[in-house]
Every structure is written in C-alpha cells, then in structure tokens.
C-alpha cells in the first residue's frame, strides 16, 4: 500500500496517509486534513529507496530486508527463537488460566500470584497462604545470600 505525506496549509499539520489502492492515471493532489478537515497537499517523500540483496538472484523467497546483506540469517534465527519462546509463554499462560478456571468452578477464587509450578514442571497448582509466605521467605533468603556473595571481596593474589 502506498503511503503519501500531506501538509495542511491551514493548521500546518504534516501527516502520512496510506491508500489501499491508487490507479496510475489518478493523481492525489490533496486529501482532507485529519485535524481541521481543510485540503492538505501532497509532499515529496524524503526517503524512497530499496536495498538490493544478492539472494534476489537465487530461487525461492527473499530473506527479510534489514538493510545489509549479511545479517538476514541472524534476523531469521532471532525471530524463530523469539517465536518459540513466546509459544512457551503462551502455553504456560493457558495452563495457568485453566487452573484458575477449574478453581473458580470449584468455588475457590485464585489468581496468578497464588499459583506455583508442580513438581514435574508440567503444570500449576494453587498454594495456601501459609505455603506462599514460606516460599517468599525462602526467596528472600536466597536473594540475601546471592547479594552477600556478590559483595564479598575477592582474595588478592599474593
């Protein structure tokens, strides 16, 4: 879809407008301003370029165009890794929502802060308030140990 830049002479607003389809014979000299409604006039775009990639001579789909010729493989790997990690996050969230719905159906109100992972790591279970307090005490103790270990001076070579 082409994106055109317009400037309104009345209010001075400069804005972009995306058109779903423009014929080659029809010019777009003006468009109503999105702020005041007066005719805004089309401007020349500052940036209008395309990166070429050596893979364009190869058969098949082109790599994502990020501006350089050697980083598209890294972008693809990073994108796939992020996609896989988000799928895990979504699966865990769905598992939590199922537990919350089951607990609600049983007449108990539970939220995300009251859930812990099961011992096998495949699911979640609600915890009682006393167990939650004990878990938080252990977390605070572990954080204090880690902080003390980081603050401990390293021995000097002598």
Residue-wise pLDDT for 16-29, tens only, equals: 777 666 555 556 66
Question: Band of the pLDDT at 8, cuts 50, 70, 90?
Answer: confident
For 8-22, 51-65, 109-123, 133-147, which range has the lowest pLDDT when averaged over its residues?
Answer: 51-65
Average of per-residue pLDDT across 144-157: 82
Residue 110: its pLDDT value, please?
87
CATH 2.90.10 fits 3-43, yes or no: no
| CATH 2.20.28 domain range(s) in the chain | 3-43
- Answer yes or no: is pLDDT of 91 > 80: yes
Average of per-residue pLDDT across 147-152: 86
Give the global pTM. 0.43
Q: Which two tokens stand for residue 108?
A: 């108990």
Residue-by-residue DSSP string for 104-127: HHTT----GGGEEE-TTSS-EEE-
156 vs 100, residue with greater confidence: 100
155 vs 42, residue with greater confidence: 42
Residue-by-residue DSSP string for 10-68: TT--EEEEE-S---SS----EEE-TTT-SEEEEE--S-------GGGGSSSPPPP--SS
Question: Band of the pLDDT at 158, cuts 50, 70, 90?
Answer: low
User: Count of CB atoms within 10 A of residue 34's CB?
Assistant: 14
Question: Band of the pLDDT at 122, cuts 50, 70, 90?
Answer: confident
């Amino acid at each position: 879809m082409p994106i055109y830049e317009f400037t309104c002479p009345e209010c001075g607003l400069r804005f972009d407008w995306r058109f779903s389809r423009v014929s080659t014979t029809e010019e777009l000299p003006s468009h109503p301003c999105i702020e005041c409604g007066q005719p805004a006039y089309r401007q020349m775009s500052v940036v209008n370029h395309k990166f070429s990639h050596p893979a364009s001579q190869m058969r098949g789909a082109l790599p994502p165009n990020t501006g350089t010729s050697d980083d598209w493989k890294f972008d693809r790997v990073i994108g796939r890794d992020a996609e896989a990690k988000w799928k895990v996050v979504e699966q865990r969230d769905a598992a939590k929502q199922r537990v919350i719905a089951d607990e609600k159906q049983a007449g108990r109100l539970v939220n995300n802060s009251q859930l812990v992972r099961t011992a096998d790591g495949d699911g979640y279970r609600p915890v009682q308030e006393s167990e939650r307090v004990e878990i938080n005490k252990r977390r605070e103790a572990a954080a204090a140990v880690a902080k003390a270990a980081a603050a401990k001076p390293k021995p000097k070579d002598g």
